[in-house]
Amino acid sequence: MAQSAVSQVSLTVPLNSDLSFRKSVLKVHNISFREKPWVAVSPLEVKARNVRSRNQFVVCMSVQQASKPKVSVSPLALEDPKEPPLNLHKPKEPYTATIVSVERIVGLKAPGETCHIVIDHGGNVPYWEGQSYGVIPPGENPKKPGAPHNVRLYSIASTRYGDFFNGKTASLCVRRAIYYDPETGKEDPSKNGVCSNFLCDSKPGDKIEVTGPSGKIMLLPEDDSNAVHIMIATGTGVAPFRGYLRRMFMESVPTFKFGGLAWLFLGVANTDSLLYDEEFTKYLQDYPENFRYDRALSREQKNQSGGKMYVQDKIEEYSDEIFKLLDGGAHIYFCGLKGMMPGIQDTLKRVAEQRGESWKEKLSQLKKNKQWHVEVY
């Protein structure tokens, strides 16, 4: 049986070029993902192509573009279990996986560095969309000499079939955590994030200790293929939603034919900070009746009061629609830094009161109906 897979393209682009230049390279070379047949590419090929040096950056299309027709996936046996896999590998017995690729996915004007990291688990750490992997960075815990580091949890940014559609990889979206001394303004490496820096510095072929998968709160409900899913993310919190959307719009899964509405709100600092934007924009073009996509760029856009535009401002902008959809049974998801929730909760409470409703009662009902899904860190 012929199987569709990813169209792989490698382009050498100057490292100091900005994001718009890197995007334009694809246009200059007239690359079409719609007109050319899919070509199967193995993770090993990506390892060979994912090369970095001081003066150049090789853009490997591990972050695939959406395309019609949808992509065939395997093994379909991953659809058989009725319950999600949970804690197959625990901290005392982690699974040793392999780094396939590490790709910077933000422009130079983004505050900080965010990487898309593909991990080969060989099919031994299966997961469902919305779950997380635990990662144990190498070295010992400074607070417990002789003991390994604590597990760090990362939301998985791919479907159960992975970026190569073969069920053997998982992808993470990781922002490098760097600490700057508030007095000197200089970086203090001793306080940098141990795991995020390990992951962003990894090279193809490096080994990585993973645990899990874990989590049930963010699982994508599939009992109703025509349901409405409202997804609200800040920064790398978009990870699980990328998995949802690939399953809905990119992959051909015989048991799941999505015909509902997916609405993504993504909050980041600026245009260069947008994550997977080309992928989401392609869904918007191909499935305008089933996908909506709103961006909140805090350093570039203004809200209705003239202040910075945050995701809660976008929620307020579309509050009537959102509340009507929730009344109709829509699921709403929140993922990102825990600091996002107070502002969002305040906005929803204010909107509810304007509508003559009690937010406390409404929230209680949403939770009771399992429409409310939150994963913050």
**Residue 225: active-site member:** no
10 or 188, greater pLDDT: 188
72 or 5, greater pLDDT: 72
Task: List the CATH number of the domain containing 99.
Answer: 2.40.30.10
Q: Kindly tell me if the per-residue pLDDT of 179 is higher than 90.
A: no
From 24, 180, 278, 377, the catalytic residue: 377
When mean pLDDT is compared across 27-31, 304-308, 352-356, the lowest value belongs to 27-31
Which class for 130: exposed (0-12), middle (13-18), buried (19 or more C-beta within 10 A)?
Answer: buried
On whether both 323 and 361 belong to a single domain, the answer is yes
Confidence band, pLDDT 50/70/90 cuts, at residue 67: very low
Residue 167's domain comprises 76-214
**Residue 155: active-site member:** yes
Annotated binding site: 155, 175, 236, 298-299, 308, 336-337, 375
Give the list of residues 6+ apart from residue 126 with CB closer than 8 angstroms, or none.
78, 85, 88, 160, 167, 213
Amino acid at 282: K
pLDDT at position 180:
82
Confidence band, pLDDT 50/70/90 cuts, at residue 187: confident
Put simply, whether the predicted model's pTM sits higher than 0.85 gets the answer no
pLDDT at position 56:
34
Confidence band, pLDDT 50/70/90 cuts, at residue 37: very low
pLDDT at position 178:
86
pLDDT digits (tens, 9 = 90+) for 125-176: 999 999 999 999 999 998 898 899 999 999 999 999 999 999 999 999 999 9
On whether both 199 and 299 belong to a single domain, the answer is no
pLDDT at position 34:
35
From 103, 209, 316, 375, the catalytic residue: 375
Confidence band, pLDDT 50/70/90 cuts, at residue 183: confident
Query: Mean pLDDT, the chain, as a whole number?
Result: 85
Summarize the confidence of residues 292-319 as an average pLDDT: 96
Structure tokens at 250: 């990119």
On whether both 158 and 289 belong to a single domain, the answer is no
pLDDT at position 68:
66
In a domain, 310, yes or no: yes
**Residue 154: active-site member:** yes
From 4, 62, 155, 196, the catalytic residue: 155
Q: Kindly tell me if the per-residue pLDDT of 188 is higher than 90.
A: no
Last residue in a domain, options 214, 240, 258: 214
Confidence band, pLDDT 50/70/90 cuts, at residue 54: very low
On whether both 101 and 160 belong to a single domain, the answer is yes
**Residue 133: active-site member:** no
58 or 157, greater pLDDT: 157
**Residue 200: active-site member:** no
- Are residues 238 and 275 in contact, defined by beta-carbon separation less than 8 angstroms? yes
β-strands 261-268, 291-297 pairing: parallel
Q: Kindly tell me if the per-residue pLDDT of 70 is higher than 80.
A: yes
Last residue in a domain, options 190, 214, 238: 214
From 154, 161, 276, 310, the catalytic residue: 154
In a domain, 21, yes or no: no
When mean pLDDT is compared across 184-198, 222-236, 255-269, the lowest value belongs to 184-198
Q: Kindly tell me if the per-residue pLDDT of 218 is higher than 70.
A: yes
On whether both 173 and 294 belong to a single domain, the answer is no
Annotated binding site for NADP(+): 155, 175, 236, 298-299, 308, 336-337, 375
Give the list of residues 6+ apart from residue 373 with CB closer than 8 angstroms, or none.
217, 218, 331, 332, 333, 334
Last residue in a domain, options 191, 214, 237: 214
Q: Kindly tell me if the per-residue pLDDT of 13 is higher than 90.
A: no
In a domain, 2, yes or no: no
Bridge partner residues of 261 (DSSP):
228
Q: How many domains does the chain have?
A: 2
